[in-house]
Structure 1
Amino acid sequence: MIVLGSDHGGLELKNEIRKLLEERGLPCEDLGTHNGDSVDYPDFGIAVSRRVSEGSAEKGILVCGTGIGMSIVANKFPRIRAALATDVFMATMAKEHNNANILVLGGRVLETGKAREMVAAWLDTEFAAGRHQNRLDKIAELERELKG
Protein backbone atom coordinates (compact mmCIF):
# COMPACT_ATOMS: atom_id res chain seq x y z
CA MET A 1 0.00 0.00 0.00
CA ILE A 2 1.20 3.47 -0.93
CA VAL A 3 -0.28 6.40 0.98
CA LEU A 4 -0.44 9.87 -0.53
CA GLY A 5 -0.76 13.26 1.07
CA SER A 6 -0.50 16.89 0.08
CA ASP A 7 -1.36 20.37 1.11
CA HIS A 8 -3.13 22.83 -1.21
CA GLY A 9 0.17 23.63 -2.96
CA GLY A 10 0.64 20.00 -3.94
CA LEU A 11 -2.96 18.99 -4.59
CA GLU A 12 -2.87 18.97 -8.40
CA LEU A 13 0.40 17.06 -8.59
CA LYS A 14 -0.75 14.56 -5.94
CA ASN A 15 -3.88 13.88 -7.98
CA GLU A 16 -1.74 13.20 -11.06
CA ILE A 17 0.49 10.85 -9.07
CA ARG A 18 -2.56 9.00 -7.78
CA LYS A 19 -3.63 8.50 -11.43
CA LEU A 20 -0.19 7.09 -12.24
CA LEU A 21 -0.39 4.62 -9.35
CA GLU A 22 -3.88 3.56 -10.41
CA GLU A 23 -2.69 3.13 -14.03
CA ARG A 24 0.02 0.81 -12.71
CA GLY A 25 -2.51 -1.14 -10.66
CA LEU A 26 -0.79 -0.22 -7.40
CA PRO A 27 -2.93 -0.04 -4.27
CA CYS A 28 -2.93 3.47 -2.87
CA GLU A 29 -4.84 5.57 -0.40
CA ASP A 30 -5.19 9.33 -0.66
CA LEU A 31 -5.10 10.87 2.82
CA GLY A 32 -5.83 14.39 1.56
CA THR A 33 -6.13 17.22 1.14
CA HIS A 34 -8.99 16.89 -1.31
CA ASN A 35 -9.69 20.50 -2.31
CA GLY A 36 -7.77 23.70 -2.92
CA ASP A 37 -8.56 25.35 0.41
CA SER A 38 -5.51 26.50 2.37
CA VAL A 39 -4.42 23.83 4.87
CA ASP A 40 -1.45 23.16 7.11
CA TYR A 41 1.02 20.79 5.43
CA PRO A 42 2.11 19.15 8.73
CA ASP A 43 -1.36 17.61 9.14
CA PHE A 44 -0.98 15.61 5.93
CA GLY A 45 2.73 14.92 6.38
CA ILE A 46 1.95 13.48 9.80
CA ALA A 47 -0.88 11.29 8.49
CA VAL A 48 1.25 9.72 5.74
CA SER A 49 4.43 9.42 7.81
CA ARG A 50 2.63 7.84 10.75
CA ARG A 51 1.17 5.12 8.50
CA VAL A 52 4.57 4.30 6.97
CA SER A 53 6.37 4.52 10.32
CA GLU A 54 3.91 2.14 11.98
CA GLY A 55 4.01 -0.26 9.04
CA SER A 56 0.37 -0.07 7.92
CA ALA A 57 1.64 1.31 4.59
CA GLU A 58 4.78 0.24 2.78
CA LYS A 59 5.53 3.58 1.11
CA GLY A 60 4.35 7.15 0.99
CA ILE A 61 4.42 10.08 -1.37
CA LEU A 62 4.08 13.62 -0.04
CA VAL A 63 3.62 16.81 -2.02
CA CYS A 64 3.62 20.41 -0.87
CA GLY A 65 4.61 23.61 -2.67
CA THR A 66 8.35 22.93 -2.61
CA GLY A 67 8.57 19.61 -0.77
CA ILE A 68 10.72 21.16 1.94
CA GLY A 69 8.10 21.36 4.66
CA MET A 70 6.84 17.82 4.08
CA SER A 71 10.42 16.52 4.20
CA ILE A 72 10.99 18.14 7.57
CA VAL A 73 7.78 16.68 8.99
CA ALA A 74 8.26 13.17 7.62
CA ASN A 75 11.81 12.75 8.87
CA LYS A 76 10.70 13.35 12.48
CA PHE A 77 9.15 9.87 12.51
CA PRO A 78 11.05 6.70 13.43
CA ARG A 79 11.95 4.40 10.55
CA ILE A 80 11.17 7.09 7.97
CA ARG A 81 13.65 7.86 5.25
CA ALA A 82 11.90 10.64 3.35
CA ALA A 83 13.75 12.03 0.36
CA LEU A 84 12.99 15.27 -1.42
CA ALA A 85 13.73 14.79 -5.10
CA THR A 86 13.85 17.36 -7.87
CA ASP A 87 14.78 15.13 -10.80
CA VAL A 88 14.78 11.51 -11.94
CA PHE A 89 18.37 10.91 -10.81
CA MET A 90 17.57 12.04 -7.25
CA ALA A 91 14.42 9.89 -7.15
CA THR A 92 16.42 6.88 -8.34
CA MET A 93 19.21 7.44 -5.83
CA ALA A 94 16.67 7.99 -3.05
CA LYS A 95 15.67 4.35 -3.48
CA GLU A 96 18.91 2.75 -4.71
CA HIS A 97 21.22 4.20 -2.06
CA ASN A 98 18.92 5.35 0.74
CA ASN A 99 15.96 2.98 0.45
CA ALA A 100 13.67 5.99 0.90
CA ASN A 101 10.23 4.86 1.99
CA ILE A 102 8.67 8.28 1.38
CA LEU A 103 9.23 10.31 -1.76
CA VAL A 104 8.66 14.04 -1.38
CA LEU A 105 7.92 16.34 -4.31
CA GLY A 106 7.26 20.03 -4.85
CA GLY A 107 3.97 20.74 -6.57
CA ARG A 108 4.92 24.31 -7.43
CA VAL A 109 8.38 23.50 -8.77
CA LEU A 110 7.82 20.34 -10.84
CA GLU A 111 6.07 19.85 -14.14
CA THR A 112 3.63 16.95 -14.15
CA GLY A 113 5.39 14.80 -16.77
CA LYS A 114 8.72 15.08 -14.98
CA ALA A 115 7.11 14.24 -11.64
CA ARG A 116 5.48 11.14 -13.14
CA GLU A 117 8.88 10.02 -14.44
CA MET A 118 10.38 10.58 -11.00
CA VAL A 119 7.71 8.55 -9.23
CA ALA A 120 8.08 5.75 -11.78
CA ALA A 121 11.86 5.72 -11.30
CA TRP A 122 11.50 5.59 -7.51
CA LEU A 123 8.97 2.77 -7.71
CA ASP A 124 10.99 0.75 -10.24
CA THR A 125 14.40 1.09 -8.60
CA GLU A 126 15.65 -1.61 -6.25
CA PHE A 127 17.61 -0.86 -3.07
CA ALA A 128 21.26 -1.76 -3.70
CA ALA A 129 21.91 -2.85 -0.06
CA GLY A 130 25.58 -3.74 0.54
CA ARG A 131 27.55 -0.74 1.72
CA HIS A 132 24.37 1.33 1.58
CA GLN A 133 22.71 -0.92 4.17
CA ASN A 134 25.65 -0.31 6.51
CA ARG A 135 24.95 3.41 6.27
CA LEU A 136 21.26 2.97 6.95
CA ASP A 137 22.15 0.80 9.95
CA LYS A 138 24.17 3.73 11.34
CA ILE A 139 21.19 6.03 10.92
CA ALA A 140 18.91 3.49 12.64
CA GLU A 141 21.38 3.22 15.52
CA LEU A 142 21.40 7.01 15.89
CA GLU A 143 17.62 6.98 15.91
CA ARG A 144 17.65 4.42 18.76
CA GLU A 145 20.21 6.46 20.72
CA LEU A 146 18.22 9.67 20.39
CA LYS A 147 14.98 7.94 21.38
CA GLY A 148 16.42 6.52 24.58
Structure 2
Amino acid sequence: MKRQWEIEDLIEHWMLSAWDLAQVGNKTGATRLGFAVLLKFFQREARFPTFKNDIPGNVITFVADQVDVPAEMYLQYAWQGRTIEYHRAEIRKLFDFRESTVADGEELKQWLVAEVLPLEHQEDVLREEAYVWFRRHHLEAPTSVLSELRSQKSFSDE
Protein backbone atom coordinates (compact mmCIF):
# COMPACT_ATOMS: atom_id res chain seq x y z
CA MET A 1 0.00 0.00 0.00
CA LYS A 2 1.30 3.43 -0.82
CA ARG A 3 2.42 5.57 2.10
CA GLN A 4 1.48 9.05 0.86
CA TRP A 5 -2.09 9.86 -0.13
CA GLU A 6 -3.21 13.11 -1.72
CA ILE A 7 -6.59 14.48 -0.58
CA GLU A 8 -8.24 13.50 -3.89
CA ASP A 9 -7.07 9.91 -3.43
CA LEU A 10 -8.21 9.85 0.19
CA ILE A 11 -11.65 11.01 -0.88
CA GLU A 12 -11.82 8.47 -3.70
CA HIS A 13 -10.57 5.45 -1.76
CA TRP A 14 -11.15 6.12 1.94
CA MET A 15 -14.36 8.17 2.13
CA LEU A 16 -16.98 6.29 4.12
CA SER A 17 -20.32 5.95 2.37
CA ALA A 18 -23.65 5.94 4.19
CA TRP A 19 -23.56 2.12 3.89
CA ASP A 20 -20.06 2.03 5.44
CA LEU A 21 -21.18 4.21 8.34
CA ALA A 22 -24.18 1.95 8.91
CA GLN A 23 -21.80 -1.03 9.20
CA VAL A 24 -19.68 0.85 11.74
CA GLY A 25 -22.95 1.16 13.66
CA ASN A 26 -22.82 1.74 17.39
CA LYS A 27 -19.14 0.83 17.86
CA THR A 28 -17.24 3.41 19.88
CA GLY A 29 -13.69 4.67 20.38
CA ALA A 30 -10.78 2.59 19.13
CA THR A 31 -13.15 -0.21 18.12
CA ARG A 32 -15.12 2.17 15.87
CA LEU A 33 -11.99 3.51 14.19
CA GLY A 34 -10.31 0.11 13.85
CA PHE A 35 -13.40 -1.44 12.30
CA ALA A 36 -13.81 1.47 9.85
CA VAL A 37 -10.16 1.19 8.75
CA LEU A 38 -10.43 -2.59 8.30
CA LEU A 39 -13.67 -2.18 6.35
CA LYS A 40 -12.22 0.35 3.91
CA PHE A 41 -8.96 -1.59 3.54
CA PHE A 42 -10.90 -4.76 2.74
CA GLN A 43 -13.03 -2.91 0.18
CA ARG A 44 -9.84 -1.82 -1.59
CA GLU A 45 -7.69 -4.92 -1.24
CA ALA A 46 -10.04 -7.89 -0.55
CA ARG A 47 -7.75 -8.77 2.34
CA PHE A 48 -6.80 -7.34 5.71
CA PRO A 49 -3.61 -5.48 6.58
CA THR A 50 -0.90 -7.63 8.11
CA PHE A 51 0.23 -5.08 10.68
CA LYS A 52 -1.36 -2.08 12.36
CA ASN A 53 1.31 0.20 10.87
CA ASP A 54 0.50 -0.94 7.32
CA ILE A 55 -2.05 1.88 7.29
CA PRO A 56 -0.48 5.31 6.70
CA GLY A 57 -1.11 8.01 9.29
CA ASN A 58 -2.92 10.36 6.92
CA VAL A 59 -5.37 7.54 6.05
CA ILE A 60 -6.04 6.90 9.74
CA THR A 61 -6.60 10.61 10.35
CA PHE A 62 -8.94 10.86 7.35
CA VAL A 63 -11.05 7.90 8.50
CA ALA A 64 -10.93 9.02 12.16
CA ASP A 65 -12.41 12.41 11.24
CA GLN A 66 -15.31 10.68 9.50
CA VAL A 67 -16.17 8.44 12.45
CA ASP A 68 -15.61 11.22 14.97
CA VAL A 69 -12.86 9.42 16.89
CA PRO A 70 -9.42 10.91 17.63
CA ALA A 71 -6.81 9.36 15.31
CA GLU A 72 -4.62 8.49 18.30
CA MET A 73 -7.25 5.96 19.37
CA TYR A 74 -6.15 3.75 16.47
CA LEU A 75 -3.08 2.78 18.53
CA GLN A 76 -5.44 1.34 21.16
CA TYR A 77 -7.22 -0.94 18.69
CA ALA A 78 -6.24 -4.52 19.61
CA TRP A 79 -4.56 -6.13 16.62
CA GLN A 80 -4.94 -9.59 18.14
CA GLY A 81 -7.75 -11.22 20.01
CA ARG A 82 -11.47 -11.74 19.83
CA THR A 83 -12.46 -8.23 18.77
CA ILE A 84 -10.39 -8.06 15.59
CA GLU A 85 -11.26 -11.66 14.72
CA TYR A 86 -14.96 -10.83 15.12
CA HIS A 87 -14.51 -7.68 13.02
CA ARG A 88 -12.76 -9.62 10.27
CA ALA A 89 -15.50 -12.26 10.23
CA GLU A 90 -18.17 -9.55 10.14
CA ILE A 91 -16.47 -7.81 7.20
CA ARG A 92 -15.98 -11.08 5.29
CA LYS A 93 -19.69 -11.79 5.72
CA LEU A 94 -20.65 -8.31 4.50
CA PHE A 95 -18.79 -8.93 1.24
CA ASP A 96 -19.65 -12.63 0.92
CA PHE A 97 -16.01 -13.72 1.28
CA ARG A 98 -14.52 -16.57 3.25
CA GLU A 99 -11.07 -17.36 4.56
CA SER A 100 -8.92 -19.26 2.11
CA THR A 101 -7.87 -22.82 2.85
CA VAL A 102 -4.82 -24.91 2.03
CA ALA A 103 -6.84 -26.45 -0.82
CA ASP A 104 -7.55 -22.97 -2.19
CA GLY A 105 -3.84 -22.21 -2.04
CA GLU A 106 -3.08 -25.36 -4.01
CA GLU A 107 -5.72 -24.43 -6.60
CA LEU A 108 -4.18 -20.96 -6.90
CA LYS A 109 -0.72 -22.47 -7.31
CA GLN A 110 -1.91 -24.76 -10.10
CA TRP A 111 -3.62 -21.83 -11.83
CA LEU A 112 -0.49 -19.67 -11.59
CA VAL A 113 1.70 -22.44 -12.98
CA ALA A 114 -0.68 -23.18 -15.85
CA GLU A 115 -1.92 -19.71 -16.76
CA VAL A 116 0.41 -17.00 -15.50
CA LEU A 117 3.97 -18.34 -15.23
CA PRO A 118 4.25 -19.17 -18.93
CA LEU A 119 3.83 -15.43 -19.59
CA GLU A 120 5.19 -13.68 -16.51
CA HIS A 121 7.90 -14.20 -13.86
CA GLN A 122 8.09 -10.89 -12.00
CA GLU A 123 7.16 -11.40 -8.37
CA ASP A 124 5.08 -8.24 -8.05
CA VAL A 125 3.02 -9.18 -11.12
CA LEU A 126 2.53 -12.72 -9.82
CA ARG A 127 1.39 -11.33 -6.46
CA GLU A 128 -1.13 -9.02 -8.14
CA GLU A 129 -2.46 -11.88 -10.30
CA ALA A 130 -2.84 -13.99 -7.16
CA TYR A 131 -4.79 -11.23 -5.41
CA VAL A 132 -7.07 -10.91 -8.45
CA TRP A 133 -7.67 -14.67 -8.35
CA PHE A 134 -8.57 -14.57 -4.66
CA ARG A 135 -10.95 -11.65 -5.20
CA ARG A 136 -12.62 -13.37 -8.16
CA HIS A 137 -13.24 -16.43 -5.98
CA HIS A 138 -14.47 -14.35 -3.01
CA LEU A 139 -11.62 -15.61 -0.86
CA GLU A 140 -9.67 -13.58 1.64
CA ALA A 141 -6.07 -13.75 0.51
CA PRO A 142 -3.51 -14.82 3.08
CA THR A 143 -1.37 -11.96 4.33
CA SER A 144 1.60 -13.05 2.27
CA VAL A 145 0.43 -14.93 -0.79
CA LEU A 146 3.71 -15.57 -2.59
CA SER A 147 5.79 -16.43 0.45
CA GLU A 148 3.26 -19.13 1.34
CA LEU A 149 3.33 -20.47 -2.19
CA ARG A 150 7.12 -20.41 -2.21
CA SER A 151 7.29 -22.30 1.07
CA GLN A 152 5.11 -25.10 -0.35
CA LYS A 153 7.27 -25.71 -3.42
CA SER A 154 9.29 -23.60 -5.78
CA PHE A 155 7.53 -22.50 -8.97
CA SER A 156 10.61 -23.51 -10.92
CA ASP A 157 10.12 -27.13 -9.81
CA GLU A 158 6.94 -27.35 -11.85
Q: Mark yes or no: TM-score above 0.5.
A: no
Normalized per residue, the structure richer in helix is: 2
Greater Rg over alpha carbons, structure: 2
**TM-score calculated relative to the size of structure 1:** 0.30
**TM-score calculated relative to the size of structure 2:** 0.29
Normalized per residue, the structure richer in strand is: 1
